[in-house]
Amino acid sequence: MPKKFTRTIEDFVCHHCGKSVKGNGYTDHCPWCLWSRHVDVNPGDRMANCHGDMEPETVEYRTQEYLIYYTCTKCGYNYRVKAAKDDNLDELVRFSGIAA
């Protein structure tokens, strides 16, 4: 049975907004625009063959944290992650549909 989480520390350039992102081993999306890439089967394993862009569809605020819901623009895969503490709050609010 494959591990459910592999900590992978990687820096990357966001394919959506072009900003450089410094990874910490838990970084799975751009903290500025919230976009991600479909690279994992299980978090951190880098086993997905798709590599499509993961579009943030909506953000939900639940139990004192934000959850970001994604859809892959290439294959349609759906995924959700917890927002990171350094994520752009304006973008989180914008995707949540809540008026600021």
Task: Give the DSSP letter string of 26-89.
Answer: S--S-TTT--EE---SSTT----S---EEEEEEEEEETTEEEEEEEETTT--EEEEEPPTTS-H
Q: The whole model's pTM is what?
A: 0.89
Query: Tens of pLDDT along 39-85?
Result: 999 988 899 999 999 999 999 998 899 999 999 999 999 999 999 99
- How many whole angstroms separate alpha carbon 70 and alpha carbon 58? 7
Any idea where the domains of the chain sit in the sequence? 12-91
At 19-38, the pLDDT tens digits run 999 999 999 999 999 999 99
